Amino acid sequence: MKGIPDLAEVEAMDAADPLRAMRDRFVLPEGIIYLDGNSLGAASINVFSEIETAAKQEWARDLIRAWNTAGWFDMPVELGDRLGRLIGAAPGQSVVCDTTSINIYKVLHAALAMRPERSVIVAEGDSFPTDLYMAEGVASTRPGTVLRLEGVDAATIEELVDDRVAVILVNHVNYKSGRLRDMAALTRKAHEAGALIVWDLCHTAGALPVDLDGSNADFAIGCTYKYLNGGPGAPAFIYAANRHHGDIRQPLSGWWGHARPFAFEQGYAAGPGIRRFLCGTQPVLSMRALKGALDLWDEVEVTAVREKSIALTDLFIRLVEAKCSAFGLELESPRRGAERGSQVSFAHPHGYQVMRALIERGVIGDFRAPSTVRFGFTPLYVGYRDVWDAVDVLEDILRTGAWREARFAVKTTVT
């Protein structure tokens, strides 16, 4: 794309979009431009259908029998395999369960147990906070374990890796800036030092191709309610490479992870393979909602999603800088599409107020303290005209100073 396109060119991009028909599969409010799919994805029609079936037929009619007749018990592994296709994982290595935070706790303990002679966890200082909180919690239960942080203890993760490091916990895409890390290169660096690596895919799964197996990754965790559109609080996932399955030991030894859960034995015996990461009874209705969300992905190639994602975010950056550069916005995301996920972030001294004004005008993004306005682009339902219109609204709010109205400074609980 040379220069700044006009509206006719933008509309032509929509007309030529191979993913355009997918938008009709989502329920989006009239008059809303939704650019917050990196926090919570929109609802698809498939999701409602699955929830209704699970609630009105399976639960209401079959009752307890549905654990067998509707296959509820095996959903964590079956959904894990379906999700595995989107993250480059062969069958049997992924399981859908629990929350991202709980899964971080489980997988860090498992990795530390596999490197008993080592006592260091490495993470990013600017990681999403739950990653750091859970790493702190894990370290507190293991005397002598310490946490080293990129940006605090050294400038880069690579500088922190030595023969004391047991495990590296790292985000594939930074939640605030959208910067994308080189998975294969950092995994190789970890292995050269004898360390294991855990990839956080919360801002990756459903946004761009991932090759966990090809990168020789050890573990990964992530959520399903962002680009995968599984719904608020949708269950998270864990990936563990096959080569590690026999060594997995994690402390949340609940009955679903038992080798024979319905033998009701007194002692714990870990189940086979990836099931070792299961803990307690899983949320069936949320699982079924996720099943509906994943059904759409059977019709979509992630490479096409990535191509459109880069085009959308490139267009957004160009238009914002062309129309809004005089109003205090500063690009925080990488300029090159290949170096970022499916989001664009700008800093503004009054970012919170600007975002609240945008939301009131029907352009929904989000704010990350202290000054980041963040926009997520889900290619399945965001179009190029959406980008054009969103920038028009942003330019008007900044030019007129509408964001200065007092009500936009009132803090909400969720930003």
Residues belonging to the active site: 128, 200, 225-226, 374
Residues 11 and 386: their CA atoms lie apart, in Å, by 10
Please compute Rg for the chain using Cα positions: 22
The answer to whether 277 touches 97, Cβ cutoff 8 Å, is yes
User: With the C-alpha atoms ordered 355, 380, 74, 287, is the resulting torsion angle positive or negative?
Assistant: positive
User: What distance in Å separates the CA atoms of residue 289 and residue 47, rounded to the nearest whole number?
Assistant: 5
Give the residue from 203, 305, 231, 302 showing the smallest Cα distance to 45: 231
Residue 197 φ then ψ, to 5°: -135, 140
* d(C-alpha 83, C-alpha 224), whole Å: 9
As a whole number of angstroms, the distance between CA 245 and CA 243 comes to 6
* CA–CA separation, 75 and 287 (whole Å): 7
Report whether 237 contacts 107 (CB < 8 A).
Answer: no
* 114 contact partners, CB below 8 Å, separation of at least 6: 166, 196, 244, 247, 249
Q: Which residues contact 358 (CB under 8 A, 6 or more apart)?
A: 364, 365, 373, 390, 393, 394, 397
384-400 helix and 7-15 helix, angle to the nearest 10 degrees: 150
Contact 95, 274 (CB under 8 A): yes
Task: Report in angstroms the alpha-carbon separations of 97 from 5, 48, 92, 206, 406.
Answer: 44, 20, 14, 17, 43
Query: How far is the C-alpha of 165 from the C-alpha of 139, rounded, in Å?
Result: 13
